[in-house]
Amino acid sequence: MKQLKFITLLLSVVFLSSCVSQKRYTELQERADSCEIELKTSNNKRLVLETNLANEQNKAKSLNQQMEYFKSTNTNLLDRLSDLSVVSKSGAESIKKSLEALNEQNKYIKDLTSSMQRKDSLNLALVMNLKRSLDNFDDEDIAIEVKKGVVYVSISDKMLFRSGSYKISAQAEEVIGKIAKIINDHKELDILVEGHTDTVPIATECMEDNWDLSTKRATSIVRLMQSKFAVDPSRMTAGGRSEYIPKTTNETAQGRAINRRTEIIILPKLDQFFELLEPPTASY
């Protein structure tokens, strides 16, 4: 702009101080206008270039910042990969053994579930067979149910024995015979016979107390099953529970009658049962 003013001033001086032709003045004026336009154009280009340069500088700065971030991230990743490599080398064997142990546990759970399902099916079949076989006896005297995963046959005292005695009645032999036949059809099962009394004390020459009475009643049933119905004695256990596992109150005559009972419990062989419950041992 200073140059333009200078040219204009110079032209004015020349025009005033000397006599120039109109044509020459016009030419000089056109040249001055052209110079002014070119100068404005140059200034505009310079501003555009400065703006573009600033933008490019900002982009370069942003790219440099991103580059530094990626460098830092890559360094962290490399460090973590290095740590993982160390862990995998030192713990590979331990991880392998842990996986083997998990596989063993899964197999154990599947086998246990399968065994429990087979046992439940067997229990259902036993209950159905026993109920069909004992269908002609009063339900009040014989109860068949599944408790704690095993089959219980509960027989009332009045069906099996005379009061205060452990001598088996004739009617009892028929009941025991039917049960023994089904037991003999399932030789993979064991039998536990339990005698139960009420709380009325007993003391005779043959029996000191209810422990004696409950035990002698259980052994009478076991002896009958062995001698008359050929049940393998190695499969049987006899036990007396006295008055200490009542089914109901002993305060009434009806309650005491329910509590005086013998229970024949049909269950898996104990050694097989405990083997089933024992989890596999992982080898390390």
Pair 196, 243: CB distance under 8 Å: yes
Give residue 275's identity as a one-letter amino acid code.
Answer: E
**CA separation for the pair 262, 245 (Å, rounded):** 12
Containing 267, the helix (H) or strand (E) segment is strand 261-268
**Between the ranges 96-100, 139-143, 163-167, 214-218, where is the mean pLDDT highest?**
214-218
More confident: 259 or 39: 259
**What angle in degrees, to the nearest 10, is found between the helix axes of 22-133 and 270-277?**
170
Place of tokens 């209810």: 210
Q: What is the pLDDT of residue 284?
A: 45
Mean pLDDT of 64-85: 67
What SS3 class is residue 4? helix
DSSP string, 235-264: GEEEEE-TTSS-SS-SSSHHHHHHHSEEEE
Q: How far is CA 160 from the centre of its chain?
A: 48
What would the two tokens of residue 57 be?
């500088």
Pair 130, 151: CB distance under 8 Å: yes
More confident: 64 or 246: 246
**CA separation for the pair 157, 60 (Å, rounded):** 101
pTM, entire model: 0.59
What would the two tokens of residue 9 be?
């001033």
Q: What is the pLDDT of residue 212?
A: 96
Containing 34, the helix (H) or strand (E) segment is helix 22-133
Pair 156, 175: CB distance under 8 Å: no
Pair 241, 194: CB distance under 8 Å: yes
Q: What is the pLDDT of residue 179?
A: 95
Q: What is the pLDDT of residue 142?
A: 93
Count the neighbouring beta carbons within 10 Å of the beta carbon of residue 24. Answer: 11
More confident: 92 or 267: 267
Residues 82-137 pLDDT 10s: 665 555 555 666 766 776 777 777 776 776 666 667 777 778 888 898 989 888 88
CA 22, 24, 27, 33 dihedral sign is negative
Lowest mean pLDDT among 46-60, 188-202, 222-236: 46-60
Indicate the pairing of strand 189-196 with strand 236-240.
parallel
What would the two tokens of residue 221 be?
């049933």
Percent of the chain with pLDDT over 70: 70
Lowest mean pLDDT among 11-15, 69-73, 135-139, 202-206: 11-15
Residues 200-253 pLDDT 10s: 999 888 899 999 999 999 999 999 999 999 999 999 999 999 999 999 999 999
Mean pLDDT of 18-31: 69
Q: What is the pLDDT of residue 280?
A: 55
Q: What is the mean pLDDT of the chain?
A: 80
**CA separation for the pair 231, 23 (Å, rounded):** 148
Q: Identify the band that residue 148 occupies on the pLDDT scale cut at 50, 70 and 90.
A: confident
